Amino acid sequence: MNNLTDEQLVDTFVLRLSLGPDAGAFLRSLPEDVRSKVIRSFDPRGTKDGNVFGRLQAFARSMLQGPEWSGHYGAVQAPVQEPVAMPEPAPALAPLAPVAYADPGMQPAQDFQEYAWSIGLDENGVRIASMMPQDVRDTVVAEFTPRGTKDGNVLGRLLGFARVVWAQRLGLDPASKQEAAGLLRGLSEEAQARVMAQFDVSGTKDGNILARLQRFATDVANRFGCCGGKGGGQPAMAYTPAPAPVYSPPAPAPVYVPQPVARDYAEHQPQAALSEFVNRMGLDAASASFLQSLPDDVRSVVVSSFNPAGTKDGYVWGRLFGFVRSVWAQRLGLDIGMVSFLKGLPEETQRVVMVKFDPSRTKDGNIAARLESFARSIANSPHQPRQPAFGQPVQQVAPPAQFGAAVVKADAVPNVHAALRDFAQRWGLNEQASAFLRAAPEAVSSVVVASFNANGTKDGNVWGRLFGFVRSVWSQKLGLDNAAFGYVRGLPEDVQMEIITRFAPGQVAAHELLPQLQAVAEEVRHAPQGIIVAPGAPEDPVSFAQRCGLDAEAIAFLLSLSEDVRTVVITDFDPAGTKDGNVFSRLQNFARAVENRRKRMLEAPQSGRNVRPRWGES
């Protein structure tokens, strides 16, 4: 077709689509470059009602949206229709009105699809945009304009507009609206549309709409693609992501009297200033290592300026981490949308991004776009790199001897066991779960203590959620690939616990970890139980009944249980969770559940099924 004249190209195009002479006249009335684009790009296959000429007019109209053709609409009119044996053509091309439906009898969904075609969306874009709620679609039709879309991504621009409209309907304050819109920004296009259509704000019982939205968006992202892309996105990561940063107030912290840190000291003695800061704030080893890995100018501002005096719930790390993120974002000149996007990522991903992202490598000056792409690549990575690439290499106060060793001196961490004890009390963990955390590598337990949040556990199984989080952190620290992680996750839970506390791989490549894990698992299977056996004798039934306010009937019931079941019931049952006051009935249900678990474990001891008893609940 390259040798055909312009007239021949039009005639060939009209004949190929079986259009009439009016279509040829309409095409010839278009500017030459627009006509050339229409002939090259128009695809009639998406025409559902058979009116190809009408869709062709709409497609050409979308090409004329640019400012250079803003006055051309009146000049481009379809010629008067000659009587021919073909479907009635669409009305003459007219300027796009910024309001909704010209035909009140038309179905809204069908009319929106016509509008979507008219602004240049492809078939996939029309499908995704049509998923949005009806009220958002109506506002889009009335107010959205694709003009100014520099990269040609009309769907991305439309979704950005729709996110703002949708966030306005959540009943949030202005800052939270920005955060809600930014949270959706990190999802795939299809996931964004599905969240807007399916999230029900009225189902939020505790008033924390953002936390519930984050959990809902994470679930949708895991099913329909987690980051970027058109529609599908990448599959969800194999490990459990860190939970949303919403924390319950722990035990009251000691009153802190702020002591100013001299800026000269912080600038000229960075290592001494950081060690003093870590001690003063009561930070753990993982937090100290993260601060040390930050760019020098960010770390200097944090050490010299952060003041925890306003921390109302005593959770200093949460306030400090937000302050670090704010300083880092200001250093890069990020807007509130990008800050909201970062806040929507798991904390571990945020840490890696702040340590490794180098803005000086941005060639086109668009730091925000490159940062977003980099963050998505980290979030989609099966494991995260350990050595920061930004700034100077990390100079650790004390090099770790092996996996799990501390990265700061022991006297720089107030009391690891005290922190674990406070953590266990905060989440109601029993001695078995506490023993497991004490036996886990310190690089794992320190992250767990700093980051784990059991809020939102719908079934009350705090131990199940905690164990999944521990396993996730442990696998990231080791750099397990998907095959090794899947193998560990498929083992019985007691075997997994032993592996997490025993396994010391040494300096081996990632692909060599799986054989070592299999050998350790085989060894654990044939060895006596280790840390998961609770130390000491359990409380006797009479004392237990008195503590729980139960009578002789309850004591008789406890004595009727087998010894192993009775031990678990007395150790793990917590009467405080009884809402209706009938403690004995709840105790009976709890005991039956323990008996059923024991029965299943005895019937299939080698099945490899991951039976998860609620060891971690008190």
- How many domains in the chain? 4
Q: Is the pLDDT of residue 480 over 60?
A: yes
Cα distances (angstroms) measured from residue 509 to each of 494, 576, 602 = 26, 48, 38
Residue 225 CB contacts under 8 Å (≥ 6 apart), including other chains: 187, 188, 190, 191, 231, 232, 233, 234, 235
Give the model confidence (pLDDT) of 298-312 as tens digits: 898 888 888 776 565
269 in the same domain as 376: yes
Closest to 73 in 3D by CA, of 115, 122, 34: 34
18 in the same domain as 90: yes
Residue 186 gets which letter from DSSP? Answer: T
Q: What is the pLDDT of residue 221?
A: 79
Q: What is the pLDDT of residue 313?
A: 59
**Do 82 and 22 meet the contact criterion of CB atoms below 8 Å apart?**
yes
**Do 129 and 118 meet the contact criterion of CB atoms below 8 Å apart?**
no
Give the model confidence (pLDDT) of 562-571 as tens digits: 887 888 888 7
Q: Is residue 253 part of a domain?
A: no
Domain end (from 478, 501, 525): 525
Measured torsion, CA atoms of residues 544, 549, 551, 557, in degrees rounded to the nearest 10:
-50
Q: What is the pLDDT of residue 22?
A: 79
463 in the same domain as 370: no
**Do 288 and 396 meet the contact criterion of CB atoms below 8 Å apart?**
no
Closest to 196 in 3D by CA, of 153, 159, 156, 154: 159
Q: What is the pLDDT of residue 603?
A: 62
Distance CA 160, CA 154 (A): 10
Question: Assign residue 384 a region: left if phi > 0, alpha if psi is -120 to 50, beta otherwise?
Answer: beta
Return the HEC string of 367-383.
HHHHHHHHHHHHHHCCC
Q: How remote is the C-alpha of 185 from its chain's centroid?
A: 11
3-state SS, residue 84: coil
Q: What is the pLDDT of residue 354?
A: 92
Give 224's pLDDT tier (boundaries 50, 70, 90): low
* Burial classification of residue 230, based on how many CB atoms lie within 10 Å of its CB (0-12 exposed, 13-18 middle, 19 or more buried): middle
Give the model confidence (pLDDT) of 583-599 as tens digits: 888 889 888 888 887 77
Across 68-77, 155-164, 546-555, least confident range: 68-77
pTM score, whole prediction: 0.28
Portion of the chain with pLDDT greater than 70, in percent: 68
Q: Is residue 157 part of a domain?
A: no
**Do 344 and 313 meet the contact criterion of CB atoms below 8 Å apart?**
no
Q: Is residue 518 part of a domain?
A: yes
**DSSP secondary structure string, 82-101?**
P--SSPPPPPPP-PPPSSS-
Q: How many CB atoms lie within 10 A of CB 580?
A: 7
User: Does the CA dihedral 439-440-445-446 come out positive or negative?
Assistant: positive
Q: What is the mean pLDDT of the chain?
A: 71
* Burial classification of residue 551, based on how many CB atoms lie within 10 Å of its CB (0-12 exposed, 13-18 middle, 19 or more buried): exposed
Q: Is residue 470 part of a domain?
A: yes
Domain end (from 470, 498, 525): 525
Cα distances (angstroms) measured from residue 537 to each of 376, 544, 554, 567 = 50, 13, 20, 9
Q: Specify the higher pLDDT residue, 512 or 297.
A: 297
Closest to 178 in 3D by CA, of 334, 378, 379, 380: 334
Q: Specify the higher pLDDT residue, 589 or 183.
A: 589
Radius of gyration for the chain, computed over Cα atoms and rounded to the nearest angstrom: 31
Q: Is the pLDDT of residue 6 over 80?
A: no
592 in the same domain as 508: no
503 in the same domain as 591: no
**Do 311 and 255 meet the contact criterion of CB atoms below 8 Å apart?**
no
590 in the same domain as 505: no
427 in the same domain as 354: no
Give the model confidence (pLDDT) of 345-403 as tens digits: 888 889 989 998 888 887 777 888 888 888 888 877 654 444 333 333 333 333 233 34
**DSSP secondary structure string, 226-268?**
SSSSSSS-PPPPSSPPPPPS-----SPPPPP------HHHHHH
Range of the domain at 290: 263-380
3-state SS, residue 473: helix
489 in the same domain as 458: yes
Q: Is the pLDDT of residue 338 over 60?
A: yes
Q: What is the pLDDT of residue 108?
A: 52
Q: Which residues of 236-272 are buried (b: 16+ CB within 10 A; e: fewer)?
A: bbbbbbbbbbbbeeeeeeeeeeeeebeeeebeeebee
Give the model confidence (pLDDT) of 184-208 as tens digits: 887 888 889 999 988 887 777 677 7
Q: Is the pLDDT of residue 268 over 70?
A: no
Give the model confidence (pLDDT) of 29-64 as tens digits: 888 888 888 888 887 776 666 778 888 887 887 777
Q: Give the ranges where 119-245 is alpha helix by DSSP (H).
A: 123-129, 134-143, 154-168, 174-185, 189-198, 209-224
Token pair 């981490």 is found at 321
507 in the same domain as 420: yes
3-state SS, residue 359: helix
Q: What is the pLDDT of residue 484?
A: 84
- Take residue 529 and report the two structure tokens written for it: 């139980």
Distance CA 421, CA 434 (A): 7
Residue 364 gets which letter from DSSP? Answer: S
Q: What is the pLDDT of residue 150?
A: 64
Q: For the residues 257-269, what does the mean pLDDT come to? A: 43
Residue 383 gets which letter from DSSP? Answer: S
Q: Is residue 609 part of a domain?
A: no
268 in the same domain as 374: yes
Q: What is the pLDDT of residue 505?
A: 66
Q: For the residues 437-448, what does the mean pLDDT come to? A: 85
564 in the same domain as 491: no
Q: Is residue 107 part of a domain?
A: no
Closest to 25 in 3D by CA, of 61, 76, 72: 76
Give 607's pLDDT tier (boundaries 50, 70, 90): very low
- Take residue 160 and report the two structure tokens written for it: 């950005």
Backbone angles phi, psi at 445, to 5 degrees: -65, -35
Domain end (from 363, 380, 397): 380
* H/E run at residue 64: none
Q: Is residue 102 part of a domain?
A: no
Q: Is residue 124 part of a domain?
A: no
Q: For the residues 323-347, what does the mean pLDDT come to? A: 83
495 in the same domain as 468: yes
Q: For the residues 89-115, what does the mean pLDDT come to? A: 47
